[in-house]
C-alpha cells in the first residue's frame, strides 16, 4: 500500500499544469508528496496555498487533499473529524468549479479511499470513479494528465476498484487517444 501511495503522490508531482504566482506544478506536487509523511510539511504547504487566495479549482483541490492529510496527522479524534469535514467541503467547492477534472476527482478519491468507511466520509467513491473512468474513456484530460491517468489505472487495478474489462478498455483508449484539452 505504501508503494502505491508513493506512486500516487509521485504521479501528482510529475504531471504539469499552470498554477498561481508563487508555486508551480512541480513544486506543488513535490511538496504535496512529502506531506504524506510529515505534519509540519502538511501545515506549511497548507498555509502557502491558503495565502495564494486562489480561485483555481486545482489549488482548491490540493487544499482539500491537504485538509485530509491534516486529519491523518492529527492525534485528537475530534480534530480529525473537523479536518475531514473541511476537506469534504473544500473538495465540493473544487469539484463544483471543475467537475470533470481527473486530478481533482482522483485527489478526493484517494482521500476518501483511505478514510474508514464507517466514518461516513467515503460517499463519493462511486461517483468519482465513474467520472474518472468516463473522462479517461472519452480522452477528456490534458496531455499533461497522461502520466496521472496511467497511475490512476495502476491504482484502480491494484485496489480492484473497477472491472478488468474497464481497465483493458481504458488502457487501450489511453494508448490511442489524443487528449481533448
Q: What is the mean pLDDT of the chain?
A: 86
73 Cβ contact partners less than 8 Å away, ≥ 6 residues apart: 38, 39, 42
Q: What confidence tens digit (pLDDT) does each residue in 4-32 have?
A: 555 454 444 444 333 344 566 667 877 98
pLDDT at 98 (0 to 100): 95
Residue-level pLDDT at 62: 96
Q: What is the mean pLDDT of residues 49-55?
A: 95
Q: Which three cell numbers stand for residue 12?
A: 501528482
Q: What is the pLDDT of residue 15?
A: 42
List, for residues 94-134, the tens digit of each pLDDT value.
999 999 999 899 999 999 999 999 999 999 999 999 999 99
Q: So what's the pLDDT on residue 26?
A: 63
**pLDDT category of residue 164 using cuts at 50, 70 and 90:** very high
Residues whose CB falls within 8 Å of the CB of residue 78, separated by 6 or more in sequence, listed in order: none
| Beta carbons of 34 and 21 less than 8 angstroms apart | no
Least confident of 16-30, 52-66, 85-99: 16-30
- Report percent pLDDT > 90 for the chain: 66
Cα–Cα distance, 130 to 49 (Å, whole number): 29
DSSP string, 14-73: HS-----TT--HHHHHHHHHHHTT-HHHHHHHHHHHHHHT---HHHHHHHHHHHHHHHHH
| Average pLDDT of the segment spanning 148-175 | 91
Give pTM, 2 decimals.
Answer: 0.83
Reduce the secondary structure of 119-137 to three states and give it as a string: HCCCCCHHHHHHHHHHHHH
25: phi then psi, degrees, rounded to nearest 5: -60, -50
Q: Is 130 left (phi over 0), alpha (psi -120 to 50) or beta?
A: alpha
pLDDT of residue 27: 78
Q: What is the mean pLDDT of residues 80-99?
A: 97
pLDDT at 176: 87
Q: What is the pLDDT of residue 180?
A: 63
Q: What are phi and psi of 19, to 5 degrees?
A: -125, -175
The C-alpha cell that represents 27 in the structure block: 513544486
Amino acid at each position: 500500500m505504501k508503494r502505491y501511495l508513493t506512486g500516487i503522490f509521485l504521479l501528482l508531482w510529475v504531471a504539469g499544469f499552470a498554477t498561481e504566482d508563487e508555486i508551480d506544478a512541480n513544486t506543488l506536487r513535490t511538496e504535496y508528496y512529502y506531506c504524506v509523511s510529515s505534519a509540519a510539511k502538511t501545515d506549511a504547504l497548507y498555509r502557502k496555498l491558503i495565502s495564494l487566495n486562489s480561485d483555481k479549482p486545482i489549488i482548491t483541490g490540493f487544499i482539500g487533499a491537504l485538509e485530509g492529510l491534516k486529519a491523518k496527522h492529527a492525534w485528537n479524534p475530534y480534530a480529525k473529524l473537523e479536518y475531514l469535514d473541511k476537506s469534504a467541503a473544500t473538495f465540493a467547492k473544487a469539484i463544483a468549479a471543475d467537475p470533470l477534472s481527473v486530478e481533482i476527482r482522483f485527489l478526493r478519491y484517494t482521500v476518501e479511499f483511505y478514510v474508514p468507511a464507517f466514518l461516513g466520509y467515503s460517499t463519493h467513491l462511486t461517483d468519482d470513479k465513474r467520472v474518472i473512468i468516463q473522462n479517461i474513456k472519452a480522452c477528456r484530460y490534458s496531455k499533461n494528465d497522461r502520466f496521472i491517468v496511467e497511475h490512476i489505472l495502476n491504482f484502480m487495478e491494484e485496489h480492484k476498484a473497477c472491472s478488468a474489462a474497464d481497465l483493458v478498455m481504458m488502457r487501450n483508449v489511453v494508448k490511442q487517444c489524443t487528449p481533448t484539452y
